[in-house]
Structure formats: C-alpha cells, structure tokens
Structure 1
Amino acid sequence: MASVTEMLDLFSSDIWGIWFLIGAALVFFMQCGFAMVETGFTRAKNAGNIIMKNLMDFCIGTVVFMFLGFGLMMGEEMIGGFIGVPTLGIFTDYANFPWSSFVFNLVFCATTATIVSGAMAERTKFISYCIYSGVISLVIYPIEAGWVWNPNGWLANMGYIDFAGSSVIHMVGGISAFIGAAFLGPRIGKYMKDKKTGKKKPRAIPGHSITLGALGVFILWFGWYGFNGAAATRLEGVGGLASIMLTTTVSPAVATCVTMIFTWIKNGKPDVSMSLNGSLAGLVAITAGCANVDAVGSAVIGAVSGILVVVAVEFIDKVVHVDDPVGAVAVHGVNGMWGTLACGLFATDSGLFYGHGASQLGVQALGVGSIALWTIVTMTAVFFIMKHTIGLRVSREEEIQGLDPTEHGLISAYGDFVPAIEDSCFTGGDYTPVKLDKNAVCVDEAIPVVLKSETTNVTASDIKMTKIELIIKQERLESLKDAMMEIGITGMTVTHVLGCGAQKGKPEYYRGVVQEVNLLPKVQVEIVVCKVPVRTVIDVAKKVLYTGHIGDGKIFIYDVENVVKVRTGEEGYNALQDEE
C-alpha cells in the first residue's frame, strides 16, 4: 500500500512539474501579445522597430539572466535577505542545476523588460533600448524579485503576497516605463499650446491597427492563465489551479465592462482601445492575489482597475504630459500597485475586509513602497546616464521618417501588402450605382470638378491634350479602373496618398483625447487623354465614385503642353496611342 501511495505522489509531482513548464511556455508566448498590442497602438512606420525590441527583450534577457541575473534572484545564499550570491551553477554543475526554476523565472524577467517598450515607442534609439533591456534583466529585476520569490528573501519572510507578480513584474515595468518616457519627452506633435489658455494640450495620435492591438490582448489574456496558474501545486481550494483560473477570468472581464461603460458615459461612445487596456488592467491587478482571493474579491479588484486605468491614462497624458502611446504606465504601473495593495484587503485568510485586521495591508504597503523606491532610484540612474552619454532619443528627422527605415533599413514592415479594395461593380458596360442614404448630398458637392487651365504658346500637336487627376476613396479604385477601360482609357497612374481633413459635427475621442484632424487613406489617379472626350471621362468618373457623401472625391482638370514617349520618341497625340 505504501508503494502505491508513493507512486501516486510521484505521478502527481510529475504532473505539476510538467504544468509548471507548460505555464512557462504560455508566459513566453505573451511576448507575441505584447508585440501585437504595442505595434497596433502605434504608427505603421515603427512596426518593425517594435517587433525587434520585443524579440531582443527576451534574447538579451536570456543571456544576462543566465550569467548573473538568476543567481542574484534565486541564489541559495542571500546577503541579509536582499541579494542572492551567484554560483554560476548553470556552467559549473549543470546536472544538479534547477532547470525548471531557471526557465520559469527567465520568462517572467523578460515580461518585466518588455513592458517599457510601448511607453518609449516611436522615438527611442535602438541601441539605448537594448542597453536598458540588458540592465533591467541583469540586476534591477532579479534583486527585487528575489526579495519576494526567493524563500530567503526579506519580504517573503514577512508574508508579503504577490503570487504572480503585480508588483514584482508589472509595477516595476510600469514605473520604469514612466521614467523612460519622461526622460525621452513626447513624440513630435503630441502636445500643442492652446491659443486661448496658453497651456499644453494633448493631441490624439491613433495607432495604425486596432485589430493587431486586439489580437495582442487576446493572446495576453490566454497566456495569463499560465502567468498566474503555473505555480499552482493542487487543483482544488482557494489557491488551487481551478480557483486561480476563475479569479484570472473574472477580474479582467469585470474591468473591461466597467471601462466600456465608463468611457461610454464620459465620451458618448465606448472607447475600443481603452476597453482593451481595461482587460489588461484587470489581469495585472489580479496577478498578485489570484491565489488568495475569491470571486467577489476578484470582481471588486477588476471593477476598480477598470476605472483606474482610464483615470490614470488621462491624468498621465493631460496633466503630467508624459507621452505613453500604449498606456503601459496606467495598465502595469498603477494597476500593479493597486492589485498588490488589494491583497491586504481581499485575501481570504489575511485580508482586512475578511476580518483579519490591517497587518497584511501594512506588509503589502511596505513591500510596494520598497520595490517602487528601488525601481525609481535604479532606473532613474540608468536613463540619466544613457541620456547624457550615448543618448536616448533619435533625431527629429529620424522620428518623422520612422524608425523602421532609419534604425533597421526596413522600408516598410508591410512592404508586400496593399489596402483591401472592393470587387469591381462596373462590368459589361453597366454600372450598378451605390444605394444612397437620406443624408446624401448632390453629386457636384460630393465630387467637385476643378479646372486648372494655363495658357501657353507651345503645342506639340493640333489635338488638345488634357490631364485628369482624381482623388478618390481607395475602395472605389477597381470600379473606376473598369469604368475607364470601358470608355477606352487604358493607361493611368495610381498613387496611395493621405487626405487631411476634419469631420464636421460631434468630436470623436481616442483614449480620451479629441481627434481634431484625420489623415485618411485616399487614392490619386492621373489620366492624360486626347482621343476620349474629357467630358465623358468626368461624367463616367462621377457616376462611379458618387455615394452621396462629402469626401467621395475631387477631380482636377489640367491642360497638357506635350507628351513624349521615351522609347519611340513620338510626341503629342501619337505618344498617347496604344500599339495594335
């Protein structure tokens, strides 16, 4: 009977050991989620740079954590409970090295480093970011994490609760992000002076793909079940895997609902990007107490974080004037702090609201304050030294052009992609017009025609040549192309451009900031005609492009002096004719 019991215990131990490593793999996959969130919430010209930073966070972190970081964090001997003594056992005694612990703590270390990437996005030198990433993984994170997760750490011995890292990882990453963004300064064009008050006023700089951002949030939420649950060693009871999964689900769900409702009431419409931040805020806040709170506690923690993230994002942006494109400081820093303190209120076995007094809350406050102070002092020193030596920020010209081409020689992270367009509606010589709504304006207002005529004495032929330039919605390009071919136009030049303009009416908000001017993707089509009547081209184009809304397009008409076909030397009318 004893042997059967021993076998069952061994089997159970193996199962939880395997789950421990699977959880570590899920945490590693969260790097993909961070990369997608940060890329989607920023502009396309910096997408490759952000992907590269997230990749190097883990790779650089692995190298430095292997040599020193793991020893400082999990060394069997600790000096006063504050710093581990490295032994380099991974090199000197590999057979007896704690492989699982190394892998698990490494992926958490990489998460801390990558939080900063989003807040410092779009204007940081790549070399400076790599140095920061190495330093935080080498020394700063390992030392404070050892206080909590090394059995000999001073906070661990005081009963400090941070099961999966609200303070150890997220608060540290959020504080580091705030310091880094403050040293960097805002992106060009982020703030402007209000002409009436003379005060700084933030401008919305929307990310280029809310879809990528949402994909990243879903990946992070999925990975968070490993983030919070990997260290579980039993299935049932508070602190068991099932309970951890439940609290890890309830908190972000409640937080997202609260954020949606709050922004809906505040701005008149539910804010998509802020709701995505709300999901992450709920996940961050429950991370510390996921194994110590029940469903009610996790719901309350999530509800508070759902409001806190909105207030913090707007306070940092509008009052403190620190430019954080993805809301990393509010999501990770502020809610990491809140979630850790909340353990002193909602822990079922030691929380104030469960009748256990305020002692646990005091321990939580001491731990949060100590970790925050360590992070502030060390990260301020790191960024200060880098700013005054190699520099933190790229040049103005590099920032405007984008970090993809200037830092990585990457013309575009989306080089082989083109905007999606509708299938042609113009086939067989019969165009099916767009169904108009009740707000449709007349065709002349929707698609104005502007004549640009210049007199000249130079003529290349007796037949007049005219250039027709159309600025249209990109989804109408295929219909226009087919329509032009039907009337004999076989050559045109097509360019993707951005149209600058502001919609009239009620202002729209992006992350709590009014969007005053929009750059909308348009297509510019250039056609030169001489055989086909200009009026025919205009009439057909207006018929194809008209939907009844301002912004359907504009048509410009220019006189052309001459056309030269380079290959044959033909000029004028003959240069425009197709060869049979």
Structure 2
Amino acid sequence: MYSSVDTIWTLLGAVLVFFMQAGFAMVETGFTRAKNAGNIIMKNLMDFSLGSLVYWILGFGLMFGATNGGFIGTPDFFVTGDYSSSIPSAALFIFQTVFCATAATIVSGAMAERTKFISYCIYSILLSAIIYPISGHWIWGGGWLSDLGFHDFAGSTAVHMVGGVSAFIGAKILGPRIGKYTKDGKVRAIPGHSLTLGALGVFILWFAWFGFNGGSTVSATGDDVLVSMASIFVTTNLAAAAAAVTTMIITWVRYKKPDVSMTLNGALGGLVAITAGCDAVSPVGAVLIGIISGFLLVASIEFIDKVLKVDDPVGAVGVHGVCGAAGTILTGVFAIDGGLLYGGGFSFLGVQILGVIAVIAWVAVTMTIVFSIINSTIGLRVSREEELAGLDIVEHGLESSYADFMPLISSEAATTTSTNDTNDTIPVKRVNSNPNAKMTKIVVITKQSKFERLKEALDKIGITGITVTQVLGCGMQKGNTEYYRGAPLETNLLPKVKVEIVVCKIPVSTVIDTVKKALYTGNIGDGKIFVYDVENVVKIRTGEEGYDALQDEAEAPSFA
C-alpha cells in the first residue's frame, strides 16, 4: 500500500527542486555578460534534458541498484526494478532525477563564457550517467559510506560538492576568460550584465530549497516526520539568512561597501552548507553553520580567484564545493545526536571528513580524465575570436538575447517605401531670415544618474529639444575605485549619457551656467561640457535653414 500523502509530498519536492533549474539559469545568466546569455540558458536547459535521459537509462541503476561491494549499484537499464516503499518507484525516480540535474548544472556557471556547447553536453552526460551516480551510491544507495554512518541528508556532498569539484577541475583545465588577468597576474573584474537576474535566481533557489531539503524526508506521515519537516524548514532558512548577513558584513568591512553579488552568493553558500545536516542540527547550530559558511565563502572565492588564478564567473566552486564540504564536516560537529559538541566524540566527525575526502578524490580524478580527453579531441574551449564575439552568435546564431532592446530594421523596410509615407514634392529651400544669428552646439557628458536633474534644469530655461545617447567613457582620473566580488573594477569605460543641444536665441552662457548648477557636486564624475560652432541647420520637412530651422510654427524658443 502506498501512502498518498508521502507520494504527493515527494512529487511536490521534485517540482520545487526542478524549479531550481530556473534559479541556476538566472544566477548564471545575471553574473555573466549579455553576449553569452542565450548560451547559458541553452546549457541549463540541455543539462537537465540530457541528464534526465541518461539517468533513466543508466544512472539511477548505478546509484540505487543492489550494491556490488558497496562501491557501485547493479545497472537497471530504463528503471524496470521495484524501488517502492510508501511511495511508488516512479516518484522516487523523478525525485532523484532532479537532484542529479542540480549537480550537473552547477558546472555550467564556473565554465561560462568560453566553453564549447558540444563539449558541455558531453561532460554533462558523463557526469549524470556515471560519476554522480557512483558516489551517490556510496552515500544514498546503500554503499560503503552509508554503512560507516556518513550523514548527508539532502546532498551537501552527494550533489553540491560533486558539482563544485567538477566545476573547479573544468575551470582549471579550461583557463580564464580573455582579459580576466593582466600579464603580471593582477585580477580584473568582469561584472555580470544583470544583478537583477542574479538576485531573482537566488530568491528562486532559496524558495525551492525548502523542497530540496524538506522533500528529502520522502515522507509526510507521522508526528515525528512532521516535526522533522518543520525543523528542516527552520534550519534551512536560518543558515541561509545567517550566511547572507555574515557575507554582507565581511564585504562591507573589506571593500568599504556591501558587495551585492558576493552577498547573493553568501545566501546560496549557507543553503548548500546546511543541506547535509538540516535534519540533525538545532536552530543555533544552523546559524553557526551559516556564519562559518559566510566566512569560508568570501575567503574561498578570493583565494580561488586571486591565488589559484581559476576563473569562476559565478562563484560556483566556493558556493557548492567549499561550502558543501564544510557543511558536511560541520554536521559532525553540530549534530544533536552524535555531534562533537554534543558528546559524540570524534568518531562521527571522522566519518564525515573521510566521506568528503573520498568523494573529492573520486570526482577530481574522473572529471580530470573526462575534461582532458574532451580537450585533446574535440576541444573544450572556443577560439579567441569566438569568445570575444560571444557564444550566443557563435554557438547558436543568436544576435542578441535582448533583441527587443535594439533598434531593428527589416531588410524589406530598408529597401521598400510606402506611398503613404512619401511625397514627391521636395520642400523649397527657404532663405535664412537671420543669417547673422550665431548657432552653437553644446554637448554635456555626465553620469546616467544625473540625467533627470539635468533635463529638469534645461526645461526651466526653455530647452526641451535635446538628443540623448547612452555612451561609455571615462575622464583622466579614471573614476573612483569600485569593487566587484573583491576585485577592483577597471574604470576605463563607465556608462555615461551624452546630451546634445543646439541653441540660437538662448545665450550659451545661460545654458552652461544652468548645466553646471544642475550637475555640480565637487566630486569626480560630475561631467564635462563641450561647446562647438554650428555652420548650418536644415529642417527636412520644410526646407528651412539656419535661424529659421531652429524655430517651430508656434515661435518656440530657439533650439532643436
């Protein structure tokens, strides 16, 4: 007899864990550059799709089939065996499938922006079919680590550390992105194109993590299980919150401002760390695990980036590898039943450490072999030209993932003209009624954040005809030093707005004084004003030139 409550709860957990794919996709897309956004989305889609198939064909049997010496399960091709308990075999299978996909997708972010799509597909298949299931068998399939008493309730090691170690090996073999390090080894920050997307991904992951950890009870019947479920929700949330706050404080102290992307990673690091012992620690223990993971996260991301020179765009190695290992080991310290701080001695802690070391060794060796073979055959990395152009256009023929934000003109519109939009009569050129009137072009370059203040000031002196362009640039001072994930930002090109005005009646000095008053703060970045003589102006609709072209029919102020 199956339990309908247990089955529904397990399936709901599977749905939530599947939703984590969207969270990972948003985090990885937001923390990388726009020219690779489509490639990131495609990889997250395909690692789940390919992983689902190969895990069904081979991986599930290797993970949960009858154990062979405690090291590998008996293959059960296409999952035909009976694995039911209070839930049907199919419910267990789909729940474990989404866990497998999580391990695979972690690798995508660390190797983003320079990996061949076909190579990614190949190693994602091998990870899902063989590497993840075998170490998973040791922990969850009745293998040797399970027999020793190794505790990894929802996968800090089984899922996240496997992904994190794979990500480190892949990123190391792949090499850094072009421009990430100077010739003398100095780190250059390469900011992601959308912290908004990154934050959305983190909130999705935090939400779905309650299914990741809570759903791992695979049961929702009985008072003890219900109490455990509620406790798991509490410890999961507290660890994430504590890690996020800790990371914010650390970056605030180190970088003089709280780092947004690092703090987002901090929340994820706390979630990863508590996953192993979410059922075994108290709320206080969860907070302490979160605090420790916050410190480890910042230190590991900086160490990996600055010392090891491994380019990990999204911090996957620190979040999943380091925090996954730490959380598993800390379970041996803070577990209420058998933890070091609760009189359990070093035995349980020793098993936790042994399990972490064993899985690291397994994944490091096998993934090194996989990546090396791929690299020496079809190649792991795209060419320099392809990387600079962006993987969207090179790998997928996608001009931009944000096409609606670009002015597009169809070939048909460019070569044909509607008779309703044209007039065969060309306006007669009119004589300039005031040939001595001086026309002047004023160009203002300033920060984007100051545009509205400038526009309001220009409106007050009668100037509403302006041309605004978003540009990139910098002054001689190179701007103030800012930090992204602990690395100083190159300030050679900063986002600016360029405002262009042509005036005739309104005195140039009035415009300049108005602009200065609106923009002045006394700090670097207030902007500059450029003044040019204008030889002539022609209004296309009427043919008017010079002074007359700057006037409209209502005799508005003289500007265009």
Q: Which residue of 2 aligns with 1:139?
A: 130
Match of 2:471 among 469, 483, 497: 497
Q: Which residue of 2 aligns with 1:283?
A: 271
Q: Which residue of 1 aligns with 2:165?
A: 175
Q: How does 1:237-276 map to 2 (within 5 A)?
A: 240-276=228-264
> Does structure 2 retain, via aligned residues, the 8 Å contact 1:125–1:394?
yes
469-478 or 382-391, larger mean C-alpha shift: 469-478
Match of 1:58 among 48, 62, 77: 48
2:404 maps to 1:383: no
Aligned CA-pair RMSD = 3.4
Quote the Cα distance in structure 2 between the aligned partners of 1:114 and 1:301.
Answer: 25
Q: How does 1:456-535 map to 2 (within 5 A)?
A: 466-475=440-449, 477=451, 493-500=467-474, 507-517=481-491, 519-527=493-501
2:138 maps to 1:129: no
* CA distance 1:390–1:161, shift in 2 (3 Å): same
Match of 1:184 among 164, 174, 189: 174
Quote the Cα distance in structure 1 between the aligned partners of 2:296 and 2:349.
Answer: 20
**Cα-to-partner distance string for 1:507-564 (whole Å, 9 max, x where unaligned):** 4433222335264322223455678765565555556555665433323234456677
Q: Secondary structure at the match of 2:483?
A: strand
Q: Secondary structure at the match of 2:469?
A: strand
> Does structure 1 retain, via aligned residues, the 8 Å contact 2:17–2:212?
yes
**Cα-to-partner distance string for 1:103-161 (whole Å, 9 max, x where unaligned):** 1011101110111111112222222222222221122112211221113x222222221
Q: Secondary structure at the match of 1:470?
A: strand
* CA distance 1:364–1:503, shift in 2 (3 Å): farther
2:7 maps to 1:17: yes
* CA distance 1:463–1:408, shift in 2 (3 Å): farther
* CA distance 1:545–1:177, shift in 2 (3 Å): same
> Does structure 1 retain, via aligned residues, the 8 Å contact 2:270–2:293?
yes
Q: Which residue of 1 aligns with 2:77?
A: 88
Quote the Cα distance in structure 2 between the aligned partners of 1:345 and 1:358.
Answer: 9
Match of 1:210 among 195, 211, 214: 195
Task: List alignment gaps of at least 5 residues for structure 1.
Answer: 1-9, 194-198, 419-460
Quote the Cα distance in structure 1 between the aligned partners of 2:381 and 2:441.
Answer: 45
> Does structure 1 retain, via aligned residues, the 8 Å contact 2:504–2:550?
no
2:114 maps to 1:118: no
Q: Secondary structure at the match of 1:471?
A: strand
Task: In structure 1, give the amino acid aligned to 2:497.
Answer: V
1:320, distance to aligned residue in structure 2 (A): 0.6
> Does structure 2 retain, via aligned residues, the 8 Å contact 1:161–1:364?
yes
Q: Which residue of 2 aligns with 1:430?
A: none
> Does structure 2 retain, via aligned residues, the 8 Å contact 1:238–1:292?
no
Task: In structure 2, give the amino acid aligned to 1:347.
Answer: A
* CA distance 1:93–1:285, shift in 2 (3 Å): closer
Task: List alignment gaps of at least 5 residues for structure 2.
Answer: 407-434, 554-560
* CA distance 1:15–1:503, shift in 2 (3 Å): farther
Q: Secondary structure at the match of 1:191?
A: coil
1:290, distance to aligned residue in structure 2 (A): 1.4
2:324 maps to 1:339: no
Quote the Cα distance in structure 1 between the aligned partners of 2:83 and 2:291.
Answer: 46
**Cα-to-partner distance string for 1:442-495 (whole Å, 9 max, x where unaligned):** xxxxxxxxxxxxxxxxxxx98766544332333555676687788887865543
Task: In structure 2, give the amino acid aligned to 1:520.
Answer: L
Quote the Cα distance in structure 2 between the aligned partners of 1:410 and 1:342.
Answer: 45
> Does structure 2 retain, via aligned residues, the 8 Å contact 1:281–1:309?
yes
Quote the Cα distance in structure 2 between the aligned partners of 1:246 and 1:502.
Answer: 52
Quote the Cα distance in structure 1 between the aligned partners of 2:359 and 2:70.
Answer: 14
* CA distance 1:293–1:314, shift in 2 (3 Å): same
1:379, distance to aligned residue in structure 2 (A): 0.8
Match of 1:327 among 310, 315, 334: 315
* CA distance 1:500–1:121, shift in 2 (3 Å): farther
* CA distance 1:574–1:412, shift in 2 (3 Å): farther
Quote the Cα distance in structure 2 between the aligned partners of 1:334 and 1:91.
Answer: 37
Task: In structure 2, give the amino acid aligned to 1:48.
Answer: G
1:230, distance to aligned residue in structure 2 (A): 0.6
Task: In structure 2, give the amino acid aligned to 1:277.
Answer: N
2:62 maps to 1:72: yes
Quote the Cα distance in structure 2 between the aligned partners of 1:544 and 1:269.
Answer: 27
> Does structure 2 retain, via aligned residues, the 8 Å contact 1:90–1:97?
no
1:401, distance to aligned residue in structure 2 (A): 3.3
* CA distance 1:255–1:394, shift in 2 (3 Å): same
> Does structure 2 retain, via aligned residues, the 8 Å contact 1:350–1:360?
yes
Q: Which residue of 2 aligns with 1:315?
A: 303
> Does structure 2 retain, via aligned residues, the 8 Å contact 1:236–1:243?
no
**Cα-to-partner distance string for 1:15-66 (whole Å, 9 max, x where unaligned):** 1221111111111111122122222222333223222222222122112222
**Cα-to-partner distance string for 1:142-190 (whole Å, 9 max, x where unaligned):** 2211221113x22222222111111111111111111111112112222
Quote the Cα distance in structure 2 between the aligned partners of 1:345 and 1:127.
Answer: 43
Task: In structure 2, give the amino acid aligned to 1:382.
Answer: V
Quote the Cα distance in structure 2 between the aligned partners of 1:183 and 1:163.
Answer: 32
Q: How does 1:413-492 map to 2 (within 5 A)?
A: 413-417=401-405, 466-475=440-449, 477=451
Quote the Cα distance in structure 2 between the aligned partners of 1:170 and 1:475.
Answer: 40
Q: Secondary structure at the match of 1:202?
A: coil
Q: Which residue of 1 aligns with 2:431?
A: none
1:247, distance to aligned residue in structure 2 (A): 1.7
Quote the Cα distance in structure 1 between the aligned partners of 2:164 and 2:324.
Answer: 8
Matched residues, number: 520
2:140 maps to 1:149: yes
* CA distance 1:504–1:562, shift in 2 (3 Å): closer
> Does structure 2 retain, via aligned residues, the 8 Å contact 1:236–1:242?
no
Q: Secondary structure at the match of 1:230?
A: helix
Percent of aligned positions that are identical: 63
1:192, distance to aligned residue in structure 2 (A): 1.7
Quote the Cα distance in structure 2 between the aligned partners of 1:249 and 1:65.
Answer: 30
Match of 2:22 among 14, 18, 32: 32
1:371, distance to aligned residue in structure 2 (A): 1.3
Match of 1:359 among 341, 347, 358: 347
1:318, distance to aligned residue in structure 2 (A): 1.2
> Does structure 1 retain, via aligned residues, the 8 Å contact 2:11–2:91?
yes
* CA distance 1:493–1:407, shift in 2 (3 Å): farther
**Cα-to-partner distance string for 1:362-381 (whole Å, 9 max, x where unaligned):** 32223222211111111111
- Scaled by the length of structure 1, what TM-score is found? 0.79
* CA distance 1:486–1:501, shift in 2 (3 Å): closer
Match of 1:223 among 186, 200, 208: 208
> Does structure 2 retain, via aligned residues, the 8 Å contact 1:239–1:291?
no
* CA distance 1:547–1:342, shift in 2 (3 Å): closer
Match of 1:108 among 99, 102, 109: 99
* CA distance 1:267–1:408, shift in 2 (3 Å): same
Quote the Cα distance in structure 1 between the aligned partners of 2:130 and 2:475.
Answer: 49
Task: In structure 2, give the amino acid aligned to 1:67.
Answer: I
> Does structure 2 retain, via aligned residues, the 8 Å contact 1:255–1:279?
yes
Quote the Cα distance in structure 1 between the aligned partners of 2:270 and 2:212.
Answer: 14
> Does structure 1 retain, via aligned residues, the 8 Å contact 2:478–2:491?
no
Match of 2:281 among 283, 293, 297: 293
